[in-house]
Amino acid sequence: MKGKSNNPNGRPKGVPNKLTQQAKQKLLLALESGLVTFEEDLRQLEPKERLNILTKLATLLIPRGVQPYLEADDKRVLPPWMLD
């Protein structure tokens, strides 16, 4: 019968998928454990490479429609707080 499943009640709205939640937690732990190394590696990069990586990461954190850079002297630059 179309539209019928073994569990007609299903998962209530707003309740996250358990596997997705577990995967996110494991990924977060992995990222946190590598954060110190990442910061050290980032400092060793050339400024242009560091700026490229920070710009790419900013696009993952900043909502769409918000520019992750400032306009200065006809050039796009990251805000100072992103360069620390």
**Residue ranges covered by each domain of the chain:** 18-82
Could you tell me which of 43, 32, 82 has the C-alpha nearest to residue 59?
82
CB neighbourhood size of 45 (10 A): 13
Residue-level pLDDT at 84: 57
pLDDT value at position 48? 92
Average pLDDT per consecutive 10 residues, the chain (84 residues; last block may be shorter):
67 78 86 85 91 84 67 67 62
Q: Is the distance from CB of 50 to CB of 40 less than 8 angstroms?
A: no
Query: Which helix (H) or strand (E) element contains residue 71?
Result: strand 70-72
